[in-house]
Amino acid sequence: MNMDRTTVIGMVLLAILFFMFFWYTNKQQQGLADIQKHIADSTQKANDAKIKPTDKAAAFSDSLHRDSVSKLSAAGNFAQAAIGTETLTVVENDLLKATFSNKGGVLKYVQLKNYKGIDSLPVKLSGNKDDKLSYTINTAPNQASETAGLFFGNAQVTKNGDSTQTITYTLSDSAGRSITHEYIVRTGKYMIDWNIIMNGADKLLTNGALNMTWHESPTRHQASIDYEKQLSNICFSVNNEFDYISSKTEATFEGPAQWVGAVQQFFNTTLIAKNSFSSGSVKWARRVDSSNTLSDVDVTLQMKLPATASVTVPLQLYYGPNDYKILTTAAPEMDKIVNLGRDLYSFVRPINKYIIMPVFNFFASFINSYGWVIALLTLLIRGVTSPLTYKSYLSGAKMRVLRPELDELKKKFGSDQQGFAAEQMKLFREAGVNPLGGCMPALLQIPIFFALYSFFSSNISLRSESFLWVKDLSSYDILAHLPFTIPGFGDHISFFTLTAVATSFLISIYNMSMTPTQDNPAMKYMPYIFPFVLLFVFNKLPSALTWYYTVSNIITLGIQFVIQNYILNHDKILAQIEAKRKEPKKQSKFQERYTQMMESQKKIQDMKQKTQGKK
């Protein structure tokens, strides 16, 4: 008793020391960061003070002059477009507000009307300082410039009879050549058509090659920026096959590319070529700084155009949600942007696509609360898997009936583990018991859990949906904020994580009490180790997943109680085992080989013991 009390007190003190350590370390690091920032700011102010105002003005004026001369030189015959004033034009439909710019004649950014960011404002896609979508044109002999640096004419907005709106920008040179950027915005669509119309293309492009560059820096829209960064990636279609990079930093397209998308957890910005790009490459880097930028995307794309004077390049721009239904009709393979299972976990994609998603959508069609939809989905899953659960508990009940005989075998063989294993296998075979039968529900939970992890992490319908105390089912719920950050755990405590861990602990304790005593110390401590690991794994996961796990565990505890107390009859099970022992036994090939192997190992061990005894 004293030892147990001492151990508990020691563990509590150790936990307190850990929390104090993390709090103190975090405080020290924050103080050091503040000191360093103060020193850097002071140094910058001192350096700025040394520069005279006249020197600053002269330097700024000189910089502007050099920049203007450089732009005029590069613009060649498009000199009138080298210098100008940026003018923005806004066009809306029922889903988005698109802002266009005459500088480069581009779609600068898009705001989504039906989705709010962490600042409670409409989600804004693109439009960061360094974002750019451009291509190179010949402006004069031996002179070239990017369209992003040229000012097109003012936007011409036309409202058409079919509820579409057309925005047109035109760029002309002194030799009569022109480039027109035509955008078409449709009602009820996140997709915007972009047609590049060139007159004099044979002069504007070298050998008909259109070289396009695209830089995009997706920004944060979710509560957990770390989790959003983790789920950000670059997706693309090459040779009409979906691919992506998430851990690698670059990829080269070994064939025609249909589209490229900068993807974050619930939104994406995608460039689509109706006639495909002939080649290209992407470079991608996940941000590790403290800014709200998730990653940096650099794309280069090439397209071979006919060597004629007039050409039209039909492109499309998608600025919108990662909605599976919408992306299915956007472009071939774009629905795979929604991560329902990839690579090592690609086996769960059919489970999500043909089972989880249809059932979830069916329940959501008549239940307003997504939290109760998840609960009902969980109940259905546990109901379907209950026959396997029953077989598992039946196997466990047989093991408990055999516990006295197993204890006798342990006493008989002592430290002779191989002899005990051989006799144990023989006992199981005679009684018709499968020692692995109890593992089936646990093994079945693995693909289901991974399927739901992918589904809940990528299901945009859960975004901003509240349930009970949870404000957003697509993110973790917060019971309390911590004044420090625990590595691997975070700076908060999720209540659904606590309920999931607590119910997992109860299930582990219950299962251990229902199985024969384990001699392996690791197995004895598993009920404590597994929930502790879950505490760190679950704390940053979407509350939809931890809510599912909590409900699943509660149902499991209920099923266990009913089966153990009202369905299983231990006297009947014992009678069945005795009857099974009297039946003629026929071993499977695996059992025969296993028995032969155990007997061989036992003979070798006996020979070694005899040899050691003679010595």
pLDDT tier at 5 (50, 70, 90 boundaries)? very low
Rounded Cα–Cα distance for residues 613 and 503 (Å) = 52
Greater model confidence, 596 or 559: 559
Average pLDDT on 306-319 reads 93
Asked whether residue 35 is assigned to any structural domain, the reply reads no
Greater model confidence, 5 or 317: 317
The answer, yes or no, to whether residue 92 has pLDDT greater than 90, is: yes
Which helix (DSSP H) or strand (DSSP E) does residue 14 occupy? helix 2-50
Query: Other C-beta atoms within 10 Å of 147: how many?
Result: 24
Rounded Cα–Cα distance for residues 74 and 525 (Å) = 72
Q: Are both 565 and 594 inside the same structural domain? A: no
Using the structure block, give the residue that is written with the tokens 């919408």: 326
The answer, yes or no, to whether residue 393 has pLDDT greater than 50, is: yes
Name, of 491-495, 496-500, 508-512, 580-584, the range with top average pLDDT.
496-500
pLDDT digits (tens, 9 = 90+) for 166-220: 999 999 987 888 999 999 999 999 999 999 999 998 899 999 999 999 999 999 9
Q: Are both 420 and 474 inside the same structural domain? A: yes
The answer, yes or no, to whether residue 331 has pLDDT greater than 60, is: yes
Which helix (DSSP H) or strand (DSSP E) does residue 257 occupy? strand 257-263
Surface-to-core class of residue 406, CB atoms within 10 Å of its CB (0-12 exposed, 13-18 middle, 19+ buried):
middle
Q: Which of 281-290, 313-322, 514-523, 532-541 has the lowest mean pLDDT?
A: 514-523
- Give the domain range for residue 437: 349-582
Q: Can you list the positions of beta strands (E) in 53-174?
A: 88-92, 96-101, 106-116, 122-125, 132-140, 143-146, 156-159, 165-172
Q: Give pLDDT, residue 420.
A: 72
3-state secondary structure (DSSP) of residue 276: strand
Rounded Cα–Cα distance for residues 104 and 126 (Å) = 15
Asked whether residue 17 is assigned to any structural domain, the reply reads no
Q: Which of 23-37, 137-151, 210-224, 523-537 has the lowest mean pLDDT?
A: 23-37
Q: Give pLDDT, residue 4.
A: 36
Rounded Cα–Cα distance for residues 120 and 128 (Å) = 19
Q: Give pLDDT, residue 576.
A: 62
pLDDT digits (tens, 9 = 90+) for 239-260: 999 999 877 788 999 899 999 9
Domain boundary among 338, 360, 391: 338
Q: Are both 331 and 369 inside the same structural domain? A: no
Name, of 93-102, 386-395, 594-603, the range with top average pLDDT.
93-102
Asked whether residue 535 is assigned to any structural domain, the reply reads yes
Instruction: Give the closest residue to 288 by CA, choosing from 232, 213, 223.
Output: 232
Asked whether residue 61 is assigned to any structural domain, the reply reads no
Judge whether 312 and 238 are in contact, CB under 8 Å: no
Judge whether 219 and 128 are in contact, CB under 8 Å: yes
Q: Are both 483 and 460 inside the same structural domain? A: yes
Q: Are both 303 and 449 inside the same structural domain? A: no
Q: Give pLDDT, residue 615.
A: 56
Instruction: Give the closest residue to 453 by CA, choosing from 386, 372, 537.
Output: 537
3-state secondary structure (DSSP) of residue 402: coil
Q: Are both 320 and 445 inside the same structural domain? A: no
Q: Give pLDDT, residue 447.
A: 85
Q: Can you list the positions of beta strands (E) in 294-422?
A: 295-304, 310-321
Q: Give pLDDT, residue 29.
A: 43
**Tokens at residue 180, please?**
């027109």
Q: Which of 42-56, 328-342, 404-418, 528-542 has the lowest mean pLDDT?
A: 42-56
Greater model confidence, 384 or 563: 384
pLDDT tier at 288 (50, 70, 90 boundaries)? confident
Q: Are both 569 and 536 inside the same structural domain? A: yes
Residue 284 C-alpha from the chain's centroid: 16
Average pLDDT on 409-417 reads 71
The answer, yes or no, to whether residue 409 has pLDDT greater than 70, is: yes
Task: Answer positive or negative: Cα dihedral of 456, 460, 463, 469.
Answer: negative
Asked whether residue 47 is assigned to any structural domain, the reply reads no
Q: Give pLDDT, residue 7.
A: 37
Q: Report the chain's mean pLDDT, rounded to a whole number.
A: 81
Which helix (DSSP H) or strand (DSSP E) does residue 483 occupy? strand 480-486
Instruction: Give the closest residue to 307 by CA, choosing from 206, 212, 196.
Output: 206
pLDDT tier at 425 (50, 70, 90 boundaries)? confident
Average pLDDT on 154-158 reads 93
* Amino acid present at 421: A
Instruction: Give the closest residue to 197 by CA, choosing from 222, 217, 223, 170.
Output: 170
Q: Are both 304 and 410 inside the same structural domain? A: no
Q: Which of 67-71, 193-197, 305-309 has the lowest mean pLDDT?
A: 67-71
The answer, yes or no, to whether residue 480 has pLDDT greater than 90, is: no
The answer, yes or no, to whether residue 38 has pLDDT greater than 70, is: no
Query: Other C-beta atoms within 10 Å of 545: how many?
Result: 24
φ/ψ of residue 66, rounded to 5: -60, -40
Q: Give pLDDT, residue 507.
A: 82
The answer, yes or no, to whether residue 112 has pLDDT greater than 80, is: yes
Q: Are both 400 and 476 inside the same structural domain? A: yes
Greater model confidence, 588 or 504: 504
Instruction: Give the closest residue to 241 by CA, choosing from 221, 258, 217.
Output: 258
Gyration radius of the chain over CA positions: 33
Question: How many residues are given for the chain?
Answer: 615
Query: Other C-beta atoms within 10 Å of 300: how many?
Result: 16
Asked whether residue 322 is assigned to any structural domain, the reply reads yes
Instruction: Give the closest residue to 382 by CA, choosing from 441, 453, 451.
Output: 441
pLDDT digits (tens, 9 = 90+) for 234-244: 999 999 999 99
Q: Give pLDDT, residue 81.
A: 79
Q: Are both 241 and 196 inside the same structural domain? A: yes
pLDDT tier at 510 (50, 70, 90 boundaries)? confident
Structurally, the chain folds into a number of domains equal to: 3
Residue 371 C-alpha from the chain's centroid: 21
Asked whether residue 548 is assigned to any structural domain, the reply reads yes
Q: Are both 592 and 563 inside the same structural domain? A: no
Asked whether residue 30 is assigned to any structural domain, the reply reads no
Q: Are both 159 and 138 inside the same structural domain? A: yes
* Amino acid present at 534: L
Q: Which of 259-268, 406-415, 450-459, 578-587 has the lowest mean pLDDT?
A: 578-587
